[in-house]
Amino acid sequence: MGGWAIAVHGGAGVDPNLPQQRQEEAKQLLNRCLNLGIDALRSNLSAVDVVELVVRELETDPVFNSGRGSALTAKGTVEMESSIMDGRGRRCGAVSGLTTVKNPVSLARLVMERSPHSYLAFAGAEDFARQQGVEVVDNEYFITEENVGMLKLAKEANTIMFDYRVPEAVGLETCSAVVESPILMNGLPISVYAPETVGCVVVDSQGRCAAATSTGGLLNKMSGRIGDSPLIGAGTYASNLCGVSCTGEGEAIIRGTLAREVAAVMEYKGLGLQEAVDFVIKERLDEGKAGLIAVSNKGEVAWGFNTTGMFRGCATEDGFMEVGIWD
């Protein structure tokens, strides 16, 4: 056992011209969440307890695209999704299509622990939330003025947007997130790429790994669209070997079963954690853009991405701590 380790992310694909103030806001939140997780680990909370705790904090703050501050659908509403996985026995829970649950990651955990299923969605997930007595709020709670403006820009451009905070009063024609040669999603061009999703991975002092991921999804997405974040093996995975949380182009992450692939190449190719992350980012995304964070049962932490940047932070029991955005 190499001691505990923790990593958090707030999305991959950062606009290279993102205002400094927004960069600092993101770093401050990542630092706060890291310290929250570190304190919990020092108090001997289990890995799965810590990932839930940290992701709840990320969902509550509107800086990133999850919980309050989630991206809006084409209808102007919020539909959230989340998953959590405990490496012990590969237990998991996932939810999609949430419109009133304040902390989707906690409902995902309840699916894991208090239902006979692994995944609940839309009306069924909302009904389960009320049966379990979790905190619910009006959909308006999740909607921010900034995201209303973002949706307006997306509709004017007739495009899907990976939500991140395009500076206010900046039109799509002048935003650096616009690409001259759009990337493709399932073969169709999209005009704007920016990060989405939050996640946390933890290995505790007993070598137990866990992972959790949460998101509001794509801005201006079709109602009912489900991304990689709630899909076990795609956006989230944990085993007795490692824990992984992904972010980026959901359709590419799904096709590559990205999170599970990290564990698979460690297990079957004998790669170390960072080697496995690098291999998967290089070999399993095809033309897709994404990033991920990971921990191993040896107390290692790793990350990788093929985008311009990824909001991330990590810390280990030996005193290492880092928060960054760029490569």
197 catalytic residue (yes or no): yes
Tell me the per-residue pLDDT of 212-243, one tens digit each, with 9 for 90 and over: 999 999 888 889 999 999 999 999 999 999 99
Whether residue 226 is annotated as binding a ligand: the answer is yes
Whether residue 225 is annotated as binding a ligand: the answer is yes
Residue pair 320/308 in contact (Cβ under 8 Å)? The answer is no
SS (H, E, C) 79-110: CEEEEEEECHHHEEEEEEEECCECCHHHHHHH
Tell me the per-residue pLDDT of 115-162, one tens digit each, with 9 for 90 and over: 999 999 999 999 999 999 999 999 999 999 988 988 888 888 776 655
Whether residue 247 is annotated as binding a ligand: the answer is yes
Tell me the per-residue pLDDT of 272-321, one tens digit each, with 9 for 90 and over: 999 999 999 999 999 899 999 999 999 999 999 999 999 999 999 999 99
Helix, strand, coil % in the chain, rounded to nearest 5: 35, 30, 40
Catalytic choice (99, 197, 257, 316): 197
Query: Which percentage of the chain shows pLDDT scores above 70?
Result: 88
For residue 183, pLDDT over 50 is answered with no
For residue 185, pLDDT over 80 is answered with no
pLDDT at 178: 39
The pTM of this model reads 0.91
Tell me the per-residue pLDDT of 70-86, one tens digit each, with 9 for 90 and over: 999 999 999 999 999 99
Mean pLDDT score of the chain: 90
